Amino acid sequence: MFHLNGASVTYGSTVALDSINLQIRPGEAVGFVGLSGAGKTTLFRLLNGMVRPTRGTVQVNGNSLASLSLEELRQVRAQIGFVHQDLSLIPNLRVLHNVLAGRLGRLSLWQGARTLLFPPRSCVNEVYEILQRVGIPEKLYQRTDRLSGGQRQRVAIARALFQRPKGLLADEPVSSVDPARARSAVSLLTQISREEGLTLCVSLHNLELAREFFPRLVGLRKGRIAFDRATEEVKEEEFQSLYDLGAANGGGTSDREE
Partner 1 sequence: MGGTSGADSIQPVSLRRGMGLRRILILIILGAGLWAFIQLNLTPADLIPNPGGLQVAGKFFSRALSPALTYEAEFVPANTQPLLWKAIQAAGTTVVFAAAAMSLALVAGLILGFLASTAWWVGDPAGGRSATVVFLRRSVAPIIYGSTRVLITLMRSVHELLWAVLLLAAFGLSHLSAAVAIAIPFGGTLAKIFAEMIDEAPRDVAEAYRGSGASSTQVYLLGLLPRALPDMIAYAFYRFECALRSSAILGFFGYPTLGFFIAASFENLHYGEVWTYLYTLFFLVTVVDWWSGALRKRFAV
Q: Which chain residues interact with partner 1 by CB under 8 A?
A: 45, 48-52, 65, 70, 73-82, 84, 86, 88-93, 101-106, 109, 112-113, 116, 145, 160, 163
Which of 116-124's residues contact partners 24+ apart within 8 Å by CB, and which partners? 124/96
**Closer Cβ to partner 1, 41 or 206, answer by number:** 41
**Closer Cβ to partner 1, 92 or 249, answer by number:** 92
C-alpha 136, offset from chain centre: 20
Alpha carbon distance 151, 148 (integer Å): 5
Q: Give me the DSSP letters along 170-235.
A: EESTTTTS-HHHHHHHHHHHHHHHHHHT-EEEEEES-HHHHHHH-SEEEEEETTEEEEEEEGGG--
**Closer Cβ to partner 1, 145 or 208, answer by number:** 145
**Closer Cβ to partner 1, 159 or 221, answer by number:** 159
Alpha carbon distance 23, 142 (integer Å): 40
* Shortest separation between residue 96's beta carbon and partner 1, angstroms: 14
**Closer Cβ to partner 1, 26 or 91, answer by number:** 91
* Shortest separation between residue 210's beta carbon and partner 1, angstroms: 23
Alpha carbon distance 47, 104 (integer Å): 19
* Shortest separation between residue 211's beta carbon and partner 1, angstroms: 28
**Closer Cβ to partner 1, 203 or 213, answer by number:** 203
* Shortest separation between residue 221's beta carbon and partner 1, angstroms: 25
* Shortest separation between residue 148's beta carbon and partner 1, angstroms: 17
* Shortest separation between residue 119's beta carbon and partner 1, angstroms: 14
**Closer Cβ to partner 1, 2 or 213, answer by number:** 2
Alpha carbon distance 247, 240 (integer Å): 9
* Shortest separation between residue 125's beta carbon and partner 1, angstroms: 21
Cα–Cα distances (Å) from 109 to 72, 80, 114, 166, in that order, read 16, 20, 9, 23
What are the residues facing 80 on neighbouring strands? 167
- Angle between helices 179-196 and 121-134 in degrees, nearest 10: 120
> Which strand (E) or helix (H) includes residue 24?
strand 14-24
